[in-house]
Structures are given as structure tokens and as C-alpha cells.
Structure 1
Amino acid sequence: MQSSTSAARPGRPRSAAADAAILEATREALVELGWSKLTLGDVATRAGVAKTTLYRRWAGKNELVVDAVAALFDELELPDRGSLAADIEGVVLQFAAILDLPEAKSGLMAVVTESTRDDALRERIRESIVDRQKRLVLEGRARATARGELPPETDPEEAARTADLIFDMVAGAVVHRTLVSARPADEEWVRNFTRVLLQGLGGPA
């Protein structure tokens, strides 16, 4: 099986503006054409760059779509709404809103399906989307600890394992609710989910 990870190639430095235009064009193509009809040639035309520019940056369509979707999740922020419960509700509502975007739905579902046959692609999804967003859990716990809502963490390894579990619970629940069950993660659902999550953390419900 060919590796999904593109090797570093010599050449001019990457342009952040060009990368942003390419990822935006990829998301537009996902909405207008869908996964099956999206091609690197179409993305290059939309972004106003040469097709070779895409191949210097991404090994293929799978990797490109992962990065285009990852950029959406990079916009997630943990709001400071005064309490751990309110903070969680705020970020979960943001997460659900991103998953409701047509480009996020089609892109994420497609690359997850493709990753079942491609270990390197699965690793790219984990690194580009999952691992980068675990920062939100760490920020939330640190803020809640400073407020006195959660006890201080004394074991770094246990803290890391707990952060992984919390992220899996939140992401898994929201993805299942919105993409698998196709039901809204509205304010009432998010409030009830947060209450259950906090009961497990031992924090204020």
C-alpha cells in the first residue's frame, strides 16, 4: 500500500496565503461537487494555483481534504463563560456547529471511511484533527482547577490519560449525535450532555 504521507521535496518555501486559498477551495469543491467528483485539478483552478503546487504540498486528495477539514476545527475556542459547565457547553455548541457545515460533514465522513484501508491516513487524521484539539480539554481543566471547580492534578500521566478520555467522550458523543444519528446537538442536548459529563468528573453538575 502506498504511504499517504508526502515526502519533503526541495523547492521554494510554502506560502501561507496559497495554502489558505487551496484549503478554502477544497471546502468549496466538497460542497459543490461532493467527495467523489472532487479533483486536485478543480481545486487548483478554484484556488488560482498550478496543479503541481498541490502535488508539492499534498500526496493526494485524502490528505488535502483532511487538512481542509482540520482548518475548520482549528477555529474552535474554549470560551470563558464563568463556570466549567458553561465553558463546556460553549465549546460543544461550536463543535456541533462545525460538524453541521456541509464541507465538514462530507469531508470528515469521506476521509474516515478511506482511513479504514489506510493506516497512514488514519494517523494523519489523528495528528491533524484529534491531537490538535485536545488542547481544549487541557485548557478547560486548568481553568476549572484555578476556579476551584476541580481538584488539582498531581499525576501528569494520569492527567494525560484523563484528558484523552474526556476528549474521546465529548468528540464521540457529538459526532455520533450529529453525523450518525443525524439529530441536532442543540442547547438542550448539550446542557444534558454536560451535566452527565460533569457528574463523571466529580465537578459541579
Structure 2
Amino acid sequence: MTPIRHNHSDGDAVLDAVRDCVLAVGVRRTTLTDVARRAGVSRMTLYRRWPDVRSLVGDLMTREWVAVATGAMPERRPGTDTRALIVDGLVAGVEAFRAHPLFQKIVDVDPELLLPYVLDRRGASQEALIALLADALREGHADGSVRTGHAERQARAVLLIVQSFTLSLRTMTDEDDPDLNSEAFLAELRSILERTLTP
């Protein structure tokens, strides 16, 4: 029998386990039993915190997507204004999201999992990204590099732009055409963001 661990890393161990399961078989074929076995915890431990696999996957997506977004933000460099950092980070973030194995698996196998967050409501990861963006935009307002405005509204609008490129870019690209490949569209995204944010 697998020993049951009780420490502060149980949550991460469970999310790591559900990530491994989803990457192996997709969301629909992942069970709480599989996750518990892989994480080395009891099923009851999971049920106390997550009622079903979808809620587990929701927490996993929040962890992974926020990590991608924060990891894509470049470090502040001397002489670089906030707008440049935001634009660089957002374009790098779109590339990182599209290359992320979990994102690719969900899009390929379980795309309906993303629909509620596109059509009906904001998820926890979107709320976290809006908060990060709003903070960065306020810094840009302060240093004069970003057009002044309602930071929360600007953050939501920018996320709408970035989200559409992340989710739908492959529907618009022709990778064998240098004028219509993903690199060319990411250059367009950079231009859109620059024009949107420039005072």
C-alpha cells in the first residue's frame, strides 16, 4: 500500500500528478483514483479538497498558466520603460502558452474544457493574469510609457487580445508562407499591443 504523505507539498504533489495523468491520457480519461495513486495520497484526501477531476484540472491550469505568464515577463533593464516590458512579456507569453505541453494536450484532446473561460466566465487564472497586468499597467501610467486609463479595464482588454492570439492563432497561420506564419502574426501582435498602450 502506498504511504500517505501529510505535508505542505501535498497540494503540489497532487497537481503534479494530475498534470502527468492529463498529459498521458487527457482530461476525460483521468480519474481521481489515478491521481491519488500517482500522488501517493488517499482518494478521501482528494475528495476533501476537489470534488471531481475538472476542479483539479482547473487548479492545475491556474498554477501552470500563472507560472507561464510570470516566467515570460522579462527582467527590468536599464533604460527600458514599462510598456516595452509589458509588450515583450505578453508576446513571449503567447509563445510560451502555445508551446506548453498541457495547453497543447487540452487543445488537441479536450478543447471543450476551455470553452467556459472563452464564452461564459472568467476563471481563476484569468483573474490572476488581469491582476498582474493591471499592476504592470499602473507602473506604465506612473512612468508615462502607457496610455493613462482605467487599469483594470485596460488589463481586461489586453487579455482579450492576447487570449485570442493564444487560442486561435493556428486557425489563421500558414506556416509555409513567411508572410502568414506564426512569427509574422506575433509581430502583428507586438504592433497591436504597442499601438494600444502607447500614450
Between 1 and 2, higher relative CO (CA 8 Å, sep ≥ 6) is seen in: 1
Aligned counterparts of 1:174 and 1:104: Cα–Cα separation in 2:
10
Cα distance in 1 for partners of 2:15, 2:136 equals 29
Runs of 4+ in 1 over 6 A off after TM superposition: 182-185
1:1-205 matches, cutoff 5 A: 16-75=8-67, 76-77=69-70, 78-79=73-74, 80-81=76-77, 82-83=80-81, 84-107=83-106, 109-113=111-115, 115=116, 123=121, 126-153=122-149, 158-177=150-169, 188-203=184-199
Cα separation, partners in 2 of 1:186 and 1:87, compared to 1, 3 Å: farther
Alpha-carbon separation, structure 1, partners of 2:151 and 2:135 = 12
Q: Bigger CA drift: 62-71 or 72-81?
A: 72-81
Q: TM-score, normalised by structure 2?
A: 0.74
In the TM superposition, residue 151 of structure 1 has moved relative to its aligned partner by 4.3
> Whole-Å Cα distance in 2 between the matches of residues 144 and 46 of structure 1?
44
Counterpart of 1:127, as a letter, is G
Whether the aligned pair in 2 keeps the contact of 1:66 and 1:107 (CA below 8 Å) is no
Alpha-carbon spacing, 1:100–1:151, altered in 2? closer, same or farther (3 Å): closer
Q: What is the Cα-based RMSD across aligned positions, in Å? A: 2.9
Name stretches of at least 5 consecutive residues in structure 2 with no aligned partner.
Answer: 1-5, 176-180
- 2:50 and 2:40 mapped to 1: Cα distance? 16
Distance in 2, matches of 1:159 and 1:25, equals 37
* CA-to-aligned-CA distance 1:68-119 (integer Å, 9 cap, x gap): 1110112122333523134322233134313322222334634224x49xx9
Q: Secondary structure at the match of 2:9?
A: helix
> What are the Cα deviations for residues 12-69 of structure 1, in whole angstroms up to 9, with x where unaligned?
xx95411100001111111111222211111111100001111111111111111111
Uncovered stretches (5+) of structure 1, i.e. residues with no partner = 1-13
Normalising by structure 1, we get a TM-score of 0.72
